[in-house]
């Protein structure tokens, strides 16, 4: 399992310094250009043709068996095992801002990001920002970042009200579970999630062996050299509306890329809190970093740490 990013460690881990990627002058230009693109301009697309049809749709998957953990790229993905899965129903898309807003309006629910965060003593969430020479970290705790304003209150990019069909983010495991209970459902376990994402494929990716067959991007991921250059070949700098990329063989959208998704499977337990498995990768996964845009990929995440790249979908038996 990969190293966890704890609340107390976020500002002490630089991850990869921008300077490691090339000449300082060229790098500074690239960093500044990328930050301007990511933070100062709207993303290109607000809607997709399939979004309205896909939202709120449920897909019943038949009982079956599959090879879980196939095609391991990281050690925690193996060894491959044949696993049987009972039939279950799953959301066709990730839960959207609009759907989560209905839940909040009906219940008055307050998310973890809207409460003081342990280790920070203020409300907020963790936000990705391209690194600079002055600040090589790309994760930042931002006061006031929550599901309504995923990048923070001063940044209009991704505003939930303006982008109702994007997947909701800045939701903790408890927030996702609370929503699922409200709609009479639950979060998928890791086996169910991987079975759904794999959709019977025996290939590296659910759509085949090539990440971008014929140069066509099949999921919302990062194109270019993470974390300083994103060419946005897929059309998106951050999250895309649900359903903008082809569905898998089960008719499910965005199982790969866009945002990571919570599962109810426990990955570990720390002194601070439970750690759960998230699946699917996100818009931050790139060929040179976090190649987890595959069904077999897995990551561990602290239950109470809201971020700008993790969402969820729900299931029921």
Give yes or no for a contact between 62 and 88, defined as CB atoms under 8 angstroms apart: no
Q: Is the pLDDT of residue 18 over 50?
A: no
Instruction: Report, as an integer, the average pLDDT of 106-123.
Output: 94
Strands 64-68 and 81-85, bridge-based pairing: antiparallel
Beta strands in 169-296, from DSSP E residues, in sequence order: 260-269, 274-279
- Residue that has been written with the tokens 């990969």 in this structure: 2
Q: How far apart are CA 246 and CA 124, in angstroms?
A: 33
- In this prediction, residue 113 has a pLDDT band, given cuts at 50, 70 and 90, of very high
pLDDT tens-digit map of 157-207:
678 888 999 999 999 999 999 999 999 999 999 999 999 999 999 899 999
Tokens of 61: 């998957």
Model-wide pTM > 0.95: no
Q: How far apart are CA 314 and CA 151, in angstroms?
A: 24
Q: How far apart are CA 203 and CA 71, in angstroms?
A: 8
Q: How far apart are CA 226 and CA 16, in angstroms?
A: 10
Q: Which CATH class is domain 7-316?
A: alpha beta
Over 96-130, what HEC string results?
EHHHHHHHHHHHCCCCHHHCECCCCCCEEEEEECC
């Amino acid at each position: 399992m990969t190293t966890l990013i704890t609340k107390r460690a976020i500002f002490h881990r630089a991850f990869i310094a921008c300077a490691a990627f090339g000449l300082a002058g060229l790098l500074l230009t690239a960093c500044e250009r990328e930050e301007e693109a990511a933070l100062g301009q709207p993303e290109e697309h607000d809607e997709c043709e399939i979004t309205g049809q896909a939202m709120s749709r449920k897909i019943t998957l038949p009982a079956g068996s599959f090879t879980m953990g196939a095609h391991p790229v990281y050690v925690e993905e193996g060894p491959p095992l044949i696993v049987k899965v009972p039939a279950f129903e799953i959301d066709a898309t990730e839960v959207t801002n609009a759907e989560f807003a209905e839940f909040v309006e009906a219940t008055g629910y307050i998310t973890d990001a809207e409460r003081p965060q342990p280790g920070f003593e203020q409300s907020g969430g963790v936000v990705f920002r391209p690194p600079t020479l002055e600040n090589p970290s790309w994760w930042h705790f931002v006061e006031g970042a929550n599901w309504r304003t995923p990048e923070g209150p001063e940044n209009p990019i991704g505003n939930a009200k303006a982008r109702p069909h994007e997947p909701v983010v800045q939701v903790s495991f408890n927030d996702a579970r609370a929503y699922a209970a409200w709609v009479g459902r639950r979060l998928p376990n890791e086996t169910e999630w991987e079975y759904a994402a794999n959709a019977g494929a025996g290939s590296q990716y659910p759509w085949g062996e090539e990440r971008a067959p014929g140069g066509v991007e099949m999921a919302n991921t990062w194109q270019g050299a993470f974390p300083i250059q994103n060419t946005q070949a897929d059309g998106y700098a951050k999250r895309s509306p649900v359903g903008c990329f082809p569905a898998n063989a089960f008719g499910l959208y965005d199982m790969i890329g866009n945002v990571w998704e919570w599962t109810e499977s426990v990955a570990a337990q720390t002194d601070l809190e439970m750690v759960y498995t998230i699946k699917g990768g996100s818009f931050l996964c790139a060929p040179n970093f976090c190649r987890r845009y595959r069904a077999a990929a897995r990551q561990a995440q602290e239950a109470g740490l809201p971020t700008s790249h993790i969402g969820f979908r729900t299931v029921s038996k």
